[in-house]
Amino acid sequence: MTSLATLPPRQNGGGRFRRLLAVPDGAYRGALGVVAAVFAVLLVAFVTSLVIQARPAFAHFGLSFLTSTKWDPVHVHYGVLVFLVGTLETTLIALVIAFPIGLGCALALAFGIPERLRVVLGPAVEMLAAVPSVVYGLWGLLVVAPWMRTIIEPALAHITGGHGPFSGSQLGVGLLLAGVILSIMVLPTMVAISRDVLLAVPHVEIEGAFALGATRWQVMRRVIIPSARGGILGATTLAIGRAMGETIAVTMVIGNTDHFSHSLFGTTQTMASLIANEFSEATEPFHLSALIAVGVVLLVVAVVVNVAARLLVRSVDRQRAIGIGVL
């Protein structure tokens, strides 16, 4: 029988690993600083390597890389404008659909439904933000595309008379489907962040408005939304960033052709889907360099959007920019 007295005295800390970690404060802080520095170096290496590899394409085509609409690997001519426009178009469609619905949904989640429903639906929406994009792509291609081809696109063409953006052959896949799938993908993110921001509006302001006799809608419109606009803006910009960089789902549903689409039903391509489609087939070095240059353009656009969002949110409202950084 082992009594307490016969056990070997417990060493303070004990074990080589633990002793190794009990380093002096200076060394500990230094080590953490090194980690942060490594992170910074990693980012610098990231940007540098991209720029170096994209240089041949930029040097050869100069500004015409951005303004040319011809992407022709066979004749070694590369211009990114079609795909830049494709990225902007899909993002715009997604935003036009997702912004009003997302804001309404966030308002309903925060103030429009009973508490019991809220505690279930809130986390459920957040969970859906974690569904991988390739699953959205699969569903969009195999389930939604046939709906678009047989129901939605004929209906839209019928209502509008089939002119302008609603003309052309109805394929199912294309610009409109890509925008719709993107809007579905960014909605959970937008809703989750906007709801948090709306719920963070000070209660005294809301109660004050009610005391003045405002209706629920007046309180939302005149008090809650103005007070939360910084965070809503941040959530929207985050959604824009997501939509612009989304690759795999868009690649599966946009049709992947390298010309402008003159109709919502037509096929085109985004910068991200172009890289996904051609990168592993790019055997010729110049083709690869051009694709990496497309990546640089995408990176620049993404960074500008992100930084602008953060500055905007900070200047509009310093206090309530809590939504950003959540996701």
Partner 1 sequence: MTIMAADPVLARRAEIQRIAEATDHRRQLLSRLALLACRACLVITLIPLVALLVYVVIRGASAWSWAFFSHLPTPAGIPGGGIWNAIVGSIIIDAIAAAGAIPFGIAAGLFLADSDGRIAGTVRLAADVLSGVPSIVVAIFAYAVLVAHGIGHFSAVAASFAIGILMLPVIMRASETAIRGVPTVLSEAGLALGARRATIARRVVLPAALPGLLTGVLLAVARGAGETAPLLLTTINSQFFSASPTKPLAAVPLVIYENGIQAYPDLVKIAWGSALFLIVMVLVLSVGSRLVAARLRRVRYE
Residue from 84, 148, 175, 187 touching partner 1 (CB under 8 A): that is 187
# residues contacting partner 1 (CB under 8 A): 90
Give the Å distances, CA to CA, from 20 to 16, 24, 27, 135, 288.
6, 10, 11, 45, 47
225/219 Cα distance (integer angstroms) = 9
* SS3 state of residue 129: coil
**Residue 268, strand partner residues:** 255
Residue 151 burial by CB count (10 A; 0-12/13-18/19+): exposed, middle or buried?
exposed
248/240 Cα distance (integer angstroms) = 16
Residue from 156, 171, 200, 302 touching partner 1 (CB under 8 A): that is 302
Paired sense of beta strands 77-78 and 71-72, if any = antiparallel
Q: What would the two tokens of residue 208 be? A: 């004050």
Residue from 203, 280, 283, 318 touching partner 1 (CB under 8 A): that is 280
Number of residues that this document lists for the chain: 327
What residue type is 23 in one-letter code? V
Tell which positions 190-249 bind partner 1, by CB under 8 A: 191, 215-218, 220-221, 238, 241, 244-248
| Residue 182: count of CB within 10 angstroms of its CB | 30
| Residue 26: count of CB within 10 angstroms of its CB | 8
Backbone angles phi, psi at 77, to 5 degrees: -130, 125
Residue from 66, 85, 88, 121 touching partner 1 (CB under 8 A): that is 121
Tell which positions 140-159 bind partner 1, by CB under 8 A: 141-143
Q: Residue 263 or residue 291: which is nearer to partner 1 going by CB?
A: 291
CB of 163 to partner 1, least distance (A): 27
Residue 284 sits in the site that holds partner 1 (CB under 8 A): no
Tokens 């404008």 appear where?
81
Residue from 81, 138, 152, 200 touching partner 1 (CB under 8 A): that is 138
CB of 273 to partner 1, least distance (A): 9
Residue 88 sits in the site that holds partner 1 (CB under 8 A): no
Binding characters for partner 1, 47-76, by CB under 8 A (x = yes): --xx--x-----------------------
> Which of the ranges 139-147, 157-165, 198-206, 257-265 carries the binding residues for partner 1, by CB under 8 A?
139-147
Tell which positions 6-25 bind partner 1, by CB under 8 A: 13, 18, 21-25
Binding characters for partner 1, 305-324, by CB under 8 A (x = yes): xxx--x-------------x
Q: Residue 50 or residue 156: which is nearer to partner 1 going by CB?
A: 50
> Which of the ranges 108-116, 157-165, 225-233, 258-266 carries the binding residues for partner 1, by CB under 8 A?
108-116
Tell which positions 32-51 bind partner 1, by CB under 8 A: 32-33, 35-36, 38-40, 42-43, 45-46, 49-50
CB of 132 to partner 1, least distance (A): 3
Residue from 67, 119, 123, 146 touching partner 1 (CB under 8 A): that is 123
Residue 133 sits in the site that holds partner 1 (CB under 8 A): yes
- Please name which of 135, 141, 137, 168 lies closest in space to residue 154, comparing C-alpha atoms: 168
183/144 Cα distance (integer angstroms) = 13
What residue type is 160 in one-letter code? T
161/23 Cα distance (integer angstroms) = 75
